[in-house]
Amino acid sequence: MSRERRAFIRFAEFTRLSRLSRFSRFALLKLNELSKPSKLSKLFALCFLIVLAGGCATSSSTQYVRQNVDYDNFKRIAVLPFESLTTDEYAGEKIRKTVITELLSRGIDVVEPGEVTRVLIEQRIKSLGSVKTTDLQNTAKTLGVGAIMMGSVEAYGISSGISVSYPEVSINLRLVEASSGNIIWSVCQTSGGPSFWTRHFGAEGLSLSDAANTVVKEAIDTLF
Amino acid sequence: MNSLKRYILVSAVFAAVIVSFSCAGRGTPSFYIRQDYDFSYIKKIAVLPLDNLTNEKFAADAVRQVVVCELLSTGLVDVAVPGEAEAAVDKLGLKSIRALSAEQIKTLGSALKVQAVVFGAVDKFGEVRIGNISAPEVTITLMMADTTSGSIVWSVTKTGGGASFAARHFGARSETMSEAIIRVVKEAIETLYK
């Protein structure tokens, strides 16, 4: 006889002796039925799946891809310096470098960052936050590209969750078509919080650089 | 059998009461939408810099980027390049966009060649303590003004964030700050293009 079964019999005897209500005895009876291995294991498996499904780390994104645009024409693009909207003043530059690497790895030719900086200085563009469409079009013309990528970094650092710390990266990328001056692609991508295994079992989570690489990769995936 | 049903019913009601009183702020946004206005007329929008009513230096800029992204993702309107809107505001010499007059809205509209401008404020942006845990919380106000008449045709205030019941008690996953911003903006814009 299993230990659970013996415990149940002791409980049943206790309820009989102590004249617990019919409801309590019924509840104990159901508990006993559940303690049979097959049902119990099924219940545990179900609970585990629910917790796992509800607790996974996910990255979320919002994207826009303009229709009726031939994206094959953009074989060479320029990536402007990104705005850093975080306390890390170099976050924009770090993400920009990752974006350039990711684009190059997908066969997209990218103008050398130094060349872009030179043209921006020549055109006396000081603040990237207030770059006008005409400035973008002139920059694209000078650099000989069909589109310009702009962006910003909204989060780049280690955030504190309820019980653990985790890397948080959030970026916003936009592609502006040089000929029309329209935004033809836009994506907001953010890394999720800590994974289930990190929160509950102390498993090793992503590092900040890994999270940044993942976010950039997933953002670029929405277009190229 | 009746006892079992009663037991299940009582448990379900008890669980529902606990969960409903414990959920994170998922309240519906309060909003205004002008009924007699034809929103299909709006083809291009400019999102003006938002007012930052928090102590976070980049709160308004971060939310603005998400607003641009979410408006574009509806696929119903074009959005002017954010720098263009900023340059127009600078050119007009507007020190604060907190209280734009109808004339200023019209001038911005003709300068940016847009049918509507979106402006607003970030009222709250940061971590709040709930019991012994902290969670992100964001409150935004967005308004849309028609540039032909200069009048407000849509306005919404939305708060989001907080830790859910499951996160507080069972260690389930809770939203990050960035996710809270995206969700709040998305839910605010859904009131317009639902």
pLDDT digits (tens, 9 = 90+) for A134-180: 999 999 999 999 999 999 999 999 887 666 778 899 999 999 999 88
- What does the pLDDT read at residue A205? 72
- What does the pLDDT read at residue A79? 95
Tell me the pLDDT band of A17, cut-offs 50, 70 and 90: very low
CATH of domain A57-221: 3.40.50.10610
In a domain, B14, yes or no: no
- What does the pLDDT read at residue A110? 95
pLDDT above 60 (res B21):
no
CB of B128 within 8 Å of any CB in chain A?
Answer: no
Tell me the pLDDT band of B93, cut-offs 50, 70 and 90: confident
Q: Which 8-state DSSP code applies to residue A72?
A: G
Domain count along chain B = 1
CB of A23 within 8 Å of any CB in chain B?
Answer: yes
Please give the Cα distance from A139 to A79 (Å, whole number): 11
DSSP-assigned letters across all residues of B74-137: TSS-EE--HHHHHHHHHHHT-S-STT--HHHHHHHHHHHT-SEEEEEEEEEEEEEEETTEEEEE
Please give the Cα distance from A170 to A190 (Å, whole number): 4
Query: Which residues of chain B lie closer than 8 angstroms to A170, CB-CB?
Result: 62, 178, 181
Find tokens 């291995």 and name the residue.
Answer: A37
Query: Which residues of chain B lie closer than 8 angstroms to A56, CB-CB?
Result: 173
CB of B83 within 8 Å of any CB in chain A?
Answer: yes
Q: How far is CA B144 from CA B108, B109, B156, in A?
A: 13, 12, 9
pLDDT digits (tens, 9 = 90+) for A41-61: 666 666 555 555 555 555 678
Q: What is the mean pLDDT of chain A?
A: 80
B130 bridge partner residues: B133
CB of B93 within 8 Å of any CB in chain A?
Answer: no
A130 bridge partner residues: none
In a domain, B5, yes or no: no
Please give the Cα distance from B144 to B189 (Å, whole number): 11
Measured in angstroms, the CA of B83 and the nearest CA of chain A are apart by 4
In a domain, B36, yes or no: yes
In a domain, B107, yes or no: yes
In a domain, B161, yes or no: yes
- When scoring B61, B65, B190 by the number of chain A Cβ atoms within 10 A, the one with the most, hence best to mutate, is B65
Nearest to A204 by CA among A159, A158, A165: A165
* CA nearest to A155 within chain B: B178
Instruction: Give the CATH number of the domain where residue B119 resides.
Output: 3.40.50.10610
Q: Which of A133-147, A154-168, B81-95, B167-181 has maximum average pLDDT?
A: A133-147
B157 bridge partner residues: B30, B141
End-to-end alpha-carbon separation of chain B, Å? 46
Instruction: Specify whether the backbone of A168 is left (phi greater than 0), alpha (psi in -120 to 50) or beta.
Output: beta
Six token digits for residue B167? 């996160």
pLDDT digits (tens, 9 = 90+) for B31-65: 899 999 999 899 999 999 999 999 999 999 999 99
**Domain range holding B110?**
25-190
B134 bridge partner residues: B129
- What does the pLDDT read at residue A19? 45
Please give the Cα distance from B25 to A32 (Å, whole number): 39
CATH 3.40.50.10610 spans which residues of chain A? 57-221
Mean of pLDDT values over A107-117: 93
Measured in angstroms, the CA of A57 and the nearest CA of chain B are apart by 7
Handedness of CA B82, B88, B90, B95 (dihedral sign): negative
Measured in angstroms, the CA of B175 and the nearest CA of chain A are apart by 7
DSSP-assigned letters across all residues of A14-52: HHHHHT--HHHHHHHHHHHHHTSHHHHHHHHHHHHHHHH
State pTM to two decimals: 0.78
Whether B73 and B63 have beta carbons less than 8 Å apart is answered as no
CB of B92 within 8 Å of any CB in chain A?
Answer: no
Within 10 angstroms of residue A100's Cβ, the number of other Cβ atoms is 19
